[in-house]
Amino acid sequence: MNPGVRKYWAKYRWSNVYAMIRNMKRYPEINLEPFPGKLAVITGATSGIGYCTACKYASMGAHILMVNRHPEKSESVRKEIAEKFNVPVEYVIADLALLPDIQRVGRHLRSLEKPIDVLIHNAGVHLESRKENPVGLEVNFAVHYLCPLIINKMLLPKFQRDRTGRILLVNSEAYRFAAWGLDIEDLQWKRRRYTGIKAYGAGKLAQLLLMHILSRELTPYNVTINAMHPGMVRTESGKDNGKLYQWYKKNFINKLSASPEISAEALYYLGTSPDQSQTTDVFFHLTTAEEMAPPALDSEAAEALSEKIGDFLKMEGIVL
Q: What is the mean pLDDT of residues 43-53?
A: 96
Range of the domain at 140: 3-315
pLDDT of residue 95: 97
Identify the band that residue 25 occupies on the pLDDT scale cut at 50, 70 and 90. Answer: confident
Say which CATH number the domain at 53 has.
3.40.50.720
Please say if the pLDDT value at position 252 is more than 50: no
Q: What is the mean pLDDT of residues 309-316?
A: 94
Angle at CA of residue 117, ends 231 and 143, nearest 5° = 50
pLDDT of residue 167: 98
List C-alpha distances in Å: 21 to 10, 141, 163, 231, 320. Answer: 21, 28, 37, 11, 39
Which range among 4-18, 193-207, 245-259, 300-314 shows the weakest confidence by mean pLDDT? 245-259
Identify the band that residue 233 occupies on the pLDDT scale cut at 50, 70 and 90. Answer: low
pLDDT of residue 258: 65
Higher pLDDT, 107 or 245: 107
Q: What tens digit of pLDDT does each residue of 65-92 get?
A: 999 999 999 999 999 999 999 999 999 9
Q: What is the mean pLDDT of residues 288-315?
A: 96
Please say if the pLDDT value at position 153 is more than 50: yes
If you compute the radius of gyration of the chain from its CA atoms, what whole number of angstroms results? 19
8 A C-beta contact, residue 69 and residue 49: no
Q: What is the mean pLDDT of residues 89-116?
A: 98
Residue 219 in any domain: the answer is yes
Q: What is the mean pLDDT of residues 32-58?
A: 97
Look at the chain and report how many structural domains it folds into. 1
Please say if the pLDDT value at position 305 is more than 70: yes
Q: What is the mean pLDDT of residues 284-300?
A: 97
For 223, list phi and psi in degrees, rounded to 5: -115, 130
Distance CA 96, CA 266 (A): 24
pLDDT of residue 2: 81
Q: What tens digit of pLDDT does each residue of 125-144 get?
A: 989 899 999 999 999 999 99
Q: What is the mean pLDDT of residues 190-211?
A: 95
pLDDT of residue 281: 98
Q: What is the mean pLDDT of residues 49-61?
A: 98
Which range among 150-164, 253-267, 272-286 shows the weakest confidence by mean pLDDT? 253-267
Residue 134 in any domain: the answer is yes
pLDDT of residue 319: 82
pLDDT of residue 3: 79
Beta pairing class for 63-68 and 89-93: parallel
Residue 320 in any domain: the answer is no
pLDDT of residue 68: 98
Contacts of 180 (CB under 8 A, 6+ apart): 2, 3, 4, 5, 7, 8, 295
Chain-centroid distance, C-alpha 195: 20
Q: What is the mean pLDDT of residues 152-171?
A: 98
